[in-house]
Structure 1
Amino acid sequence: MKKCHIAYLACTAALIGTGLGAAPPVAAHRVHVVHPGESIQKAVDAAQPGDTVLLTYGTYHESVEVSTPGLTLRGVGRGTVLEPEAGASTGTAPSTGSGAAKTGKTGKDGKAGKAANSCAAGGNGICVVGTKDHNVDDVTVASLTVSGFAKTGLYATEADGLTVRRVTAVKNGVWGIATEHSVHGVFRNNTARDNGDAGLFLANTVKEEQGATDTEGTVVEHNRLEGNRIGVTVRRLRNLTLAGNHLTGNCAGVFVVGDENKPKAGFVTVRDNRIERNNKSCPKTARLDALQGSGIVLTGAEDSLVTRNVIKDNVGKSPLSGGIVLFKSFVGTTSERNRISDNLLRGNSPDLVNTDTGKGNTFEGNSCRTSKPAGLC
């Protein structure tokens, strides 16, 4: 019996060895290496889901569209730099546009049609682009710099599970890093500096009126936002966390923005951030008053938590100046049921501000010295 059993196992192994009954082979993920002077877009178009496009050290004068699910676009650090092509627009005026036109519908492999590069036409550096019918899933952009683009350094729309890490976005005309219509995002260890509007801009949409959408747990953590108009803007979104970020030298640190649309913006957690000296002066725009000296501003938002932040030396003369500010939206929508707790505030002008008439907002356990109205500390 023992010999028969051994013979059976040997026969089975031989059958498997010849491929009979074997599992189908798994396609290998490939690395496409690109050097300065070579086309990033060509490598991205050739890549399959799960592949990596690796950009070596140097400067690339190109805009890139990504619509392949599971693709990683990665540099080797800040010394991998994407800048606009020669002759491209380099305007710096903030805009309310989305920053990139969408490409055609995706095919079976999730790739967009070979339309003209709308990313470059929109004044953007890197675009991660899906469609309303087919999100682009699980794209990663990492370890590179996007600088000097007329609108946005890195822009994404209709993205599910986008990861952006160790990206440096510098001196782009509108936003450093921006997303619309996207869920499950992770933005970690990035630097956004000296961009025309927000360093990091997250929104439902900027082209139409629409209620706040659920990001399904997007996380923004351990980023450095410096010298922008606003460090981080969260516009018409719900279910999102900002944690452990450092915001300094902006006109305003964090904006959580809602309006009259339903559902309201809210269920945003802002915790464990360091927000200091956001005293740059920015003029009034069509949608927003002049800004200076704002740490965290909630306007038209509900059911949000602001806790365990260190907020220091934010001083200005704007109606929105202060360490933590609750402010009725500019279309008259109140903020409601927000909890401001256990924050350390020093040297702000003032530390806490509540000019909102909304109900259910609470201030408790904060270490602060000045407030408007008095009594919030």
Structure 2
Amino acid sequence: MMRFHISHLACAAAIIGAVFGAAPPVAAADQMTHVVFPGQSIQRAVDAAEPGDTVLVTPGTYRESVTVSTPGITLSGMGRGTVIEPGTDKAATDSCAAQGNGICVIGTKDHDVEGVTVASLTVTGFAKAGVFAMATDGLTVRNVTAVKNGVWGIAQERSVRGVFRKNTARDNGDAGLFLANTIKEEAGATDTGGTVVARNRLEGNRIGITVRRLRNLTVADNHLTGNCAGVFVVGDENKPRAGALTVRDNTLVRNNKSCPKTARLDALQGSGIVLTGAEDTLVTHNRVIGNAGASPLSGGIVLFKSFVGTTSERNRITDNTLEGNAPADLVNTDTGKDNTFTHNTCRASKPAGMC
């Protein structure tokens, strides 16, 4: 780790110039860039950083977990060649590492950590999540590659105003991107304050994007392929209900991987967009092609009564383009009220008459 030590100044300046351009804007006097080289500790640099600082991690493989709890800092690699993998210290007491996560951005029960950015690096091989965030406000995760993590690629709970943009999540055990109100307890859906999930690529996961018990959120312009299911909006009997969000302009193609049943969810295969136990959600201008399977949740766009019996109500599925999905392009097995299917381009629906 280095806080611009004189002996490394020229090298650090060259690296920063390469990342931020030949003539980067002059930083404020109280903002510093901490450069980390292979063999050095990312965590030490993060611990030394103050609000407004950047921790810049040069290409190489770093075997450690990193916890960020300082507001306003940026933790950035230099692209996919900056790789964070699990450490080899079996006795690690750091809670992020002990819980099997790669990068943790963590606030407290009483105060969210604000304005943190995680960018331009790879997290791979962690038992739980590549990136895990809790109690954050305004977290940005961009250009992160999360590959072959045991549960989630990138996950967040109890947080507001997040931005997840241009990430790649591939071959993770559960969701590539997982956003929830809270994981360990029953509670009503929370308002995310306008969280945005946009222009991400999700491939080969159990579920591409899971939005669980949340409201006021946009999922837009993502590309999802090769997952067991593309986008899952999940609600239940708790109040407020999940929903009041938008799923738009996404491309979901051949999410036909087969995943077995779990304690919480039936077997999955061939699901494009699934709404279960949700209300007041707009699903519009999505391209949903070739998602086919024999699961109760299979189909292009599917409304399904939640497994605790909660129906979906007042959802609008409109102006989508669907082709080659099975058992149908549009599937509604929900008994909820006032769900509408209008102006969709499709060939087959279940029940018939929705195309």
Shared topology, TM-score over 0.5? yes
**Paired AA for residue 72 in structure 2:** G
How big is each residue's C-alpha offset from its partner over 1:4-24, in whole Å with a ceiling of 9 and x where there is no partner? xxxxxxxxxxxxxxxxxxxxx
**Paired AA for residue 329 in structure 2:** D
**What is the percent sequence identity of the aligned residues?**
77
Map residues 48-63 of structure 1 onto 2, 5 A cutoff.
Answer: 48-63=50-65
Question: Out of 275, 296, 308, which is 2:285 matched to?
Answer: 308
Question: Out of 134, 157, 175, which is 1:180 matched to?
Answer: 157
| Residue in 1 that maps onto 2:128 | 151
- Give 5+ residue unaligned stretches, structure 1: 1-25, 90-114
**Structure 1 residue 256, shift from structure 2 partner:** 0.1
Confirm whether residue 361 of structure 1 aligns to residue 339 of structure 2: yes
SS at match of 2:244: strand
What is the rounded CA distance, in whole Å, between the counterparts of 1:167 and 1:143 in structure 2? 5
- Give 5+ residue unaligned stretches, structure 2: 1-27
**Structure 1 residue 28, shift from structure 2 partner:** 2.0
What is the rounded CA distance, in whole Å, between the counterparts of 1:327 and 1:118 in structure 2? 37
Confirm whether residue 341 of structure 1 aligns to residue 340 of structure 2: no
**Paired AA for residue 49 in structure 1:** P
| Residue in 2 that maps onto 1:69 | 71
What is the rounded CA distance, in whole Å, between the counterparts of 1:259 and 1:127 in structure 2? 28
What is the rounded CA distance, in whole Å, between the counterparts of 1:170 and 1:88 in structure 2? 22
What is the rounded CA distance, in whole Å, between the counterparts of 1:335 and 1:64 in structure 2? 39
How big is each residue's C-alpha offset from its partner over 1:14-68, in whole Å with a ceiling of 9 and x where there is no partner? xxxxxxxxxxxx6420000001110110110001000000000110001000000
What is the rounded CA distance, in whole Å, between the counterparts of 2:78 and 2:308 in structure 1? 46
What is the rounded CA distance, in whole Å, between the counterparts of 1:142 and 1:85 in structure 2? 20
Map residues 1-377 of structure 1 onto 2, 5 A cutoff.
Answer: 27-86=29-88, 116-349=93-326, 350-377=328-355
**Structure 1 residue 134, shift from structure 2 partner:** 1.2
Q: What RMSD in Å do the two structures reach over aligned CA positions?
A: 1.1
What is the rounded CA distance, in whole Å, between the counterparts of 2:206 and 2:90 in structure 1? 23
**Paired AA for residue 359 in structure 1:** K
How big is each residue's C-alpha offset from its partner over 1:85-111, in whole Å with a ceiling of 9 and x where there is no partner? 12659xxxxxxxxxxxxxxxxxxxxxx
SS at match of 1:81: strand
**Structure 1 residue 254, shift from structure 2 partner:** 0.3
SS at match of 2:46: helix
**Structure 1 residue 132, shift from structure 2 partner:** 1.7
SS at match of 1:169: strand
What is the rounded CA distance, in whole Å, between the counterparts of 1:42 and 1:82 in structure 2? 15
SS at match of 2:96: helix
Give the structure with higher Rg (CA): 1
SS at match of 2:47: helix
**Structure 1 residue 339, shift from structure 2 partner:** 0.1
What is the rounded CA distance, in whole Å, between the counterparts of 1:302 and 1:290 in structure 2? 24
**Paired AA for residue 179 in structure 1:** Q
**Paired AA for residue 105 in structure 2:** V
